[in-house]
A and B are shown apart, each in its own frame.
Chain A
Amino acid sequence: MDLAVILSILDATIRLSTPLLLACLAGLYSERAGIFDIGLEGKMLAAAFAAGAVAAISGSAWLGLMAGMAVSLATTLLQGAAAITLKGNQLIAGVAINMLAAGMTTFLGQTWFSQGGRTPALSEGGRFAPITLPFANELAGVPILGPIYSELISGHYLLVYIAFIMVAVTAFVLYRTRFGLRLRAVGENPKAVDTAGISVVKQRYQAIIITGLLCGLAGAYFSIAQGSGFGNNMTAGKGYIALAALIFAKWKPVPAMFTCLLFGFLDALQIRLQNFELPVIGVVPVQAIQALPYVLTVVLLAGFIGKAVGPKAGGVPYTKER
């Protein structure tokens, strides 16, 4: 393989990792605060649809992005009301969100646009264009480093850069701020937080608001950056893979980034391997290749992770006991 092929696989890795990373960080805020979030998938899907629909109607990618974030936030708050205020089962609240999103997006898409649940293809201004970083074209001629800068680092959508910046921001917030200290504490021992005079409920809502906004970014990425319009079940289980990545990364931001890059890489490789003729075996069926990242996810989670101990109070609604 030459440099160009490697670069193109790595380039695809970054593009495919981005929604995973955004969703993974979204889940990190929620789960670190003690709320299991299996509803990442549904929130992304709802956001993807809202972003695609609004961008198609208004012709503005920015309005689409804002709509995606707003819908994701509203969905998160619904899930939060069930899981925090009403002390419902967090798993079921998340599953409900996933089913709601899957059904509603298709139904509303068909009702509004009559294209089988899809939103209309976006015009030029309706989706985000790749950003060319300064001097990318000028430096492209420099051997090795030039192509790496101009093809791998430059030329991505805005949301890609936001995702990777959010890793550093999250690490800082989590470990260096009052908010982060309380967030971590509320997921480990909410009673300690309560007796310290901090509202557990408020802290948990603050956490899931961030989750909602980040899921909104992840969802919008599918329909108005990577894609051009919303398609049925467009997120294709990426929310679950993000959750797996979060567990694999032991709920830590920087490992989360590397895990998402690994999963993104597997996905990129999968695309590359389609129709690729292997020695002896010949052409492997597309379906088998497509299943590869998912199979590897299971293998990685089962085999290599060791004992993943999540936030101790995760999954348990907080009740002041007698």
Chain B
Amino acid sequence: MNTQRPETAAVTAPANGWAIELEKINKRFGAVHANKDIDLKIARGTIHGIVGENGAGKSTLMSILYGFYTADSGTIRVNGAEASIADSRQALALGIGMVHQHFMLVDNFSVLENIVLGAEDSGFLKPSLSRARKELDRLEEEYALEVDPDAIIEDISVGQQQRVEILKALYRGAETLILDEPTGVLTPKEADDLFRVLETLRAQGKTVILITHKLREIMAITDNVSVMRQGQMVATVKTQETSPEELAELMVGRRVLLRVDKTAASPGKTLLEVQNLVVADDMGVTRVKDVSFAIRAGEIVGIAGVSGNGQSELLESITGMRDQKSGTVVLNGKPLSLEGDDGAARARQAGLAHVPEDRQRMGLVTTFQEWENAILGYHDKPDYGSGAFLDIAAAKKAAADQVKLFDVRPANINLKSSLFSGGNQQKIVLAREMEQDPDVLVIGQPTRGVDIGAIEFIHNEIIKMRDEGKAILLVSVELDEIRSLADRILVMFDGVIVGEADPATATEGELGLMMAGINKTAPRTIGIAEQGPLP
């Protein structure tokens, strides 16, 4: 298929007119041309999706529309009238509201205070707050958005915080609502709720702009979809007339395999065994409650769950970064001693490699050059030097090999690591850990913030590793990723493995229920079911 598909004429003068029209928008940041001659029209009363890889310019474009940045050139029309939007206040006055990817809420304020902030009626707060309380009641009823106005933000769930953001925009009279990657932090159930809210908004005549990289969501809810690539708008099509495959191809500029190609697993002997593990977090709260499981050679076990249900602590404990309260981790038949500050080093020596969840904070020292990161954690190995001295030539050679094997771009081992894109940084970490030929590989969020093209590569490397007879433990908040990679899925909720599922047969609905702690399918459930009433 021709990827340079011209902008289709599918979206012609809608019945309700245009809410937003952008013409020849340009924005540069230094040498980076983030938006090139962008044309975009959004029909009033529709849900319009915008997709594109990281760095394609979606967020920049929306920030221009919301007045956070000013375009270098180009025209913006709101409701047919030309508008100049110099700051967020003007955008709000034009009826444009935005729900940012990272919520713009003050954590220790109440819901009401957050809603009123910046939209106060007068110098004293009392009248503003009581008017906001009444208005909030009305909005909550109209759009079915329940939230307690007196709750403190840091005490409520992420899904509710997002509702506060939406209410904030509606309170300011938003007619057009921009949502930036709204489902990234939500459970499937919360995401469904959000979509219902968006449909209600559309039914009430509001316009919604949805920025996402999840093609399934685009297909499920939008009326039209625009695709951006490398700062350019490559297509705008009606959602009904396109497919996820076509959109993926438009985003990346080449054919992409959305489904991972893999054969059935042929598990061998048990390599990693976790027995009755109990782990507490920094505050002393028990986050992993008596978890046991085993992984055999040649299989990938995925741990699914909404982020914050103990997966991070589980990973950190198995890899020696966090002390466990009780339990044992057995590697290749031998119990691992993980206690103390050098637990992680001992785990690595024993053959347990770790790709941490947060590559920038834990996987890399971003101010180091690439080759320094390529041996990080293995720098004590005799391969890379002796005594206090590093064998820099050997380290650089190892780094160069890794870069070549994993197609890290740019292929420059002397470049500062922070200058690589997210996908390439992840490749650096993966290359380092995989090249040490470990028995067990523990991977957290392998493709968080990674472009579609690199995701494909990383997934294939993980499968290759499995086929070489390694045991792989995969933790991801992306349910799709777990379903396509894992040979077995363990679902974690509130620190407990609440069930096991076969990725070939389990539906998303079943997994979603388990992730929310509502388990009807798995009879071997521990923990949650026990708390229910006896039959």
**A252 surroundings in chain B (CB, below 8 A):** none
Bound complex: CA A76 to CA B461 (Å) = 58
On whether A188 and B88 interact (CB within 8 A), knowing A178-B124, A181-B125, the answer reads no
Bound complex: CA A175 to CA B129 (Å) = 12
On whether A197 and B89 interact (CB within 8 A), knowing A181-B117, A191-B104, the answer reads yes
On whether A188 and B109 interact (CB within 8 A), knowing A178-B120, A181-B117, A198-B118, the answer reads yes
**B117 surroundings in chain A (CB, below 8 A):** 181-182, 185, 192-193, 196, 198
Nearest CB to that of A194 among chain B residues? Answer: B88
B108: CB under 8 A from chain A?
yes
B481: CB under 8 A from chain A?
no
Bound complex: CA A182 to CA B114 (Å) = 10
Bound complex: CA A238 to CA B497 (Å) = 56
B189: CB under 8 A from chain A?
no
A287: CB under 8 A from chain B?
no
**A195 surroundings in chain B (CB, below 8 A):** 66, 68, 88, 98, 100, 104
**A320 surroundings in chain B (CB, below 8 A):** 68-69
B405: CB under 8 A from chain A?
no
Whether the pair B92, A197 counts as a contact (CB closer than 8 A) is yes
Nearest CB to that of B102 among chain A residues? Answer: A191
B105: CB under 8 A from chain A?
yes
**A176 surroundings in chain B (CB, below 8 A):** 124-126
Whether the pair B119, A178 counts as a contact (CB closer than 8 A) is no
Bound complex: CA A189 to CA B106 (Å) = 6
8 Å CB interface, A304-322 against B:
312, 320, 322
Bound complex: CA A192 to CA B98 (Å) = 11
Whether the pair A188, B107 counts as a contact (CB closer than 8 A) is yes
Whether the pair A189, B120 counts as a contact (CB closer than 8 A) is no
Whether the pair A184, B123 counts as a contact (CB closer than 8 A) is no
Q: B76-88 interface mask toward A, CB cutoff 8 Å, 1 = contact, 0 = none?
A: 0000000000011
Whether the pair A184, B124 counts as a contact (CB closer than 8 A) is no
Whether the pair B118, A197 counts as a contact (CB closer than 8 A) is yes
Question: By the criterion of a CB under 8 Å from any partner CB, how many residues of chain B are at the interface?
Answer: 31
B113: CB under 8 A from chain A?
yes
Closest beta carbon of chain A to B29's beta carbon, Å? 6
B128: CB under 8 A from chain A?
yes
Nearest CB to that of A189 among chain B residues? Answer: B106
Nearest CB to that of A312 among chain B residues? Answer: B107
Bound complex: CA A154 to CA B126 (Å) = 35
Nearest CB to that of A178 among chain B residues? Answer: B120
Nearest CB to that of B168 among chain A residues? Answer: A196
**B113 surroundings in chain A (CB, below 8 A):** 181
A179: CB under 8 A from chain B?
yes
A115: CB under 8 A from chain B?
no
Whether the pair A177, B125 counts as a contact (CB closer than 8 A) is yes
Whether the pair A184, B106 counts as a contact (CB closer than 8 A) is yes
Whether the pair A197, B106 counts as a contact (CB closer than 8 A) is no
Bound complex: CA A196 to CA B171 (Å) = 12
On whether A178 and B122 interact (CB within 8 A), knowing A188-B108, A196-B117, A322-B29, the answer reads yes
B486: CB under 8 A from chain A?
no
Bound complex: CA A193 to CA B122 (Å) = 17
Bound complex: CA A198 to CA B109 (Å) = 17
Bound complex: CA A175 to CA B124 (Å) = 10
Q: Chain B CB within 10 Å — which of A177, A181, A185, A195 has the most?
A: A195
**B108 surroundings in chain A (CB, below 8 A):** 188
Bound complex: CA A203 to CA B90 (Å) = 18
**B128 surroundings in chain A (CB, below 8 A):** 178
Whether the pair B118, A196 counts as a contact (CB closer than 8 A) is yes
B177: CB under 8 A from chain A?
no
Bound complex: CA A201 to CA B90 (Å) = 18
Closest beta carbon of chain B to A172's beta carbon, Å? 9
Closest beta carbon of chain A to B238's beta carbon, Å? 32
Bound complex: CA A180 to CA B113 (Å) = 11
**B104 surroundings in chain A (CB, below 8 A):** 189, 191-192, 195-196
Q: Chain B CB within 10 Å — which of A175, A181, A185 has the most?
A: A181
Whether the pair A181, B116 counts as a contact (CB closer than 8 A) is yes
Whether the pair A196, B120 counts as a contact (CB closer than 8 A) is no
Bound complex: CA A185 to CA B114 (Å) = 9
Bound complex: CA A179 to CA B128 (Å) = 13
Bound complex: CA A123 to CA B119 (Å) = 53
Bound complex: CA A184 to CA B116 (Å) = 13
Closest beta carbon of chain B to A318's beta carbon, Å? 13
Bound complex: CA A147 to CA B269 (Å) = 88
Nearest CB to that of B97 among chain A residues? Answer: A195
8 Å CB interface, B192-237 against A:
none
Whether the pair A192, B105 counts as a contact (CB closer than 8 A) is yes
Bound complex: CA A179 to CA B117 (Å) = 10
Q: Chain B CB within 10 Å — which of A176, A179, A189, A322 has the most?
A: A189
Closest beta carbon of chain B to A299's beta carbon, Å? 25
Whether the pair B118, A193 counts as a contact (CB closer than 8 A) is yes
**A188 surroundings in chain B (CB, below 8 A):** 106-109
8 Å CB interface, A192-248 against B:
192-198
Nearest CB to that of B32 among chain A residues? Answer: A322
**B105 surroundings in chain A (CB, below 8 A):** 189, 192
On whether A185 and B109 interact (CB within 8 A), knowing A193-B117, A194-B88, A195-B68, the answer reads yes
Bound complex: CA A268 to CA B91 (Å) = 57
**A194 surroundings in chain B (CB, below 8 A):** 68, 88
Closest beta carbon of chain A to B354's beta carbon, Å? 30
**A179 surroundings in chain B (CB, below 8 A):** 123
On whether A181 and B120 interact (CB within 8 A), knowing A176-B125, A189-B105, the answer reads yes
12 CB contacts below 8 A, A to B, read A177-B125, A181-B116, A189-B104, A192-B106, A192-B117, A193-B118, A195-B100, A196-B88, A197-B88, A197-B91, A312-B107, A320-B68
| A interface residues (Cβ-Cβ under 8 A, vs B) | 175-182, 184-185, 188-189, 191-198, 312, 320, 322
User: Can you list the 4 inter-chain pairs with the closest CB atoms, starting with the nearest?
Assistant: A196-B118, A197-B89, A192-B104, A178-B120
